[in-house]
Chains A and B, each alone.
Chain A
């Protein structure tokens, strides 16, 4: 399996990472090198094998329905690049 330049752009868009035209070919080579490395796995016989769901045999622990958190607005906003009146601000999103 290998990717072409269009695929590289598509993946970059999905991952929300800007790539310049100049970067695409190099990125393509890097990705294809890694894909070649993992290609061997396609030959392994995994018939009847379940994918691993959890490394440890545990059941999901559940917590009680009690409000134990929140009401810490200053902490939530403390590291934000841009806020106003308690909101996070981002460039306008058109629906």
Chain B
């Protein structure tokens, strides 16, 4: 059991309570074809089009495993620093449901492809916890049933039936909603880095079953309830809080928790017991006789390992070491692999190293603000890494001021997309005026036009700002503000 410090306890009516959380995350594997059939995994599409005879469970159909799905599972296992099981096997999980055409799901029960591992989860940039991974296994996704198309009938679409899923089971190491949310977020980042899952929770590529139990500190684990199919990080947090309080209330009232499966209802803000499926499911797991044990050798694993990208923890450490970023900035940049690469390309552009902190600030500040406002990613905003690098260089060389640069950025993200910033600045006449004689002339003009104020400024230094503003106005904002300020100070007689 980990000895790390955890989030605070929940105050109940009688005592403090600790909430224990474990997560089973289902991640849809990125692959062209399905786990055991050659049909497409493409999202959407007319109903029952991405369906082969195997997916429709026609009589006599047999499964054949997709090598890429196996590779994705191994890559993910490596990303989770987990044990890779070179020999694993497939079991049938038997139950009846209209979106499960075979009447069983091919999964891995006894011998999963990946064993124990761990994830480092950053709660704050300086404080992380380790969450253990119990196992990862491959299994088939089910189709989709629509229950709202008619009053009396459900509509079944098997497009998703047979798509490969990785079920990633954590150890019950989390102690709060925030820890659980951070875990899912980090796991999602790792999966996107590896490219084994796109992590799109809205599309359903990533779903979580949340196991929640409560106990007074020091006690043994309480009975847990499983909240199924939570499809957003926000809801995961809400569901945990709501469920923990529900359980605490029951126990403090003298009752006990029934182990059951529940659903989170975000509109009501409560968890509900799923309609009782008679007794607990008896899945009658047994080894799938249509599939032999899955085996691969060290060379297969090493080959995949060699081509893994740098993962977020390593990249964060490198950004801090090589670029002098602090933990906070590094964390934000590595949260998305493409953003991290974008950052690095901009810093290194042209073989010249520029101030990484400044590049980082532009990305995390103005660029992100624009992207968010337009529902885009930083990359899709349209500012190439080379253009960002040029912009930063222009400021550094004093060609434009920081303020002008913000305006230039807006132009580059809008009508002037794709234009070289240097050209743009020249064309719009935005080049900063550094010519001291011109600045002196402008300052003299303003002081002459405002003699009274100039007198007052001698005793009211705060008026410097107003004068700076006036000079900037007469120069169309192009004067080097620092130089203007220095000249004004001298001419107004301020120290």
Contact = CB atoms under 8 A, between A and B. Distances in A.
Interface residues of B, number: 55
Interface stretch (A26-34, A35-43, A80-88): A80-88
Contacts, number: 138
B67 A65 contact: yes
A62 interface: yes
Interface stretch (B42-50, B306-314, B405-413, B449-457): B42-50
Contacts of B145: 90, 93
Given A59-B292, A95-B275, A70 B50 contact: yes
Given A16-B96, A66-B38, A89-B154, A54 B67 contact: no
B98 A69 contact: no
A46 interface: no
Interface in B68-113: 68-70, 89, 96-98
A70 B150 contact: no
B231 interface: no
A72 B147 contact: no
Contact of B274 (A71, A76, A95): A95
B31 interface: yes
A65 B48 contact: no
Residue among A14, A60, A64, A72 with the highest chain B CB neighbour number at 10 A: A60
B52 A69 contact: yes
B98 A88 contact: yes
Contact of A63 (B50, B55, B66, B97): B66
Contact of A87 (B38, B52, B64, B157): B157
Contacts of A49: none
Contact of B52 (A58, A59, A72): A72
A87 B146 contact: yes
Interface of A: 10, 13-14, 16, 53-54, 58-73, 75-77, 84-95
Interface of B: 31-33, 37-40, 46-56, 64-70, 89, 96-98, 145-147, 149-158, 263, 274-275, 278-279, 282, 284, 287, 291-295
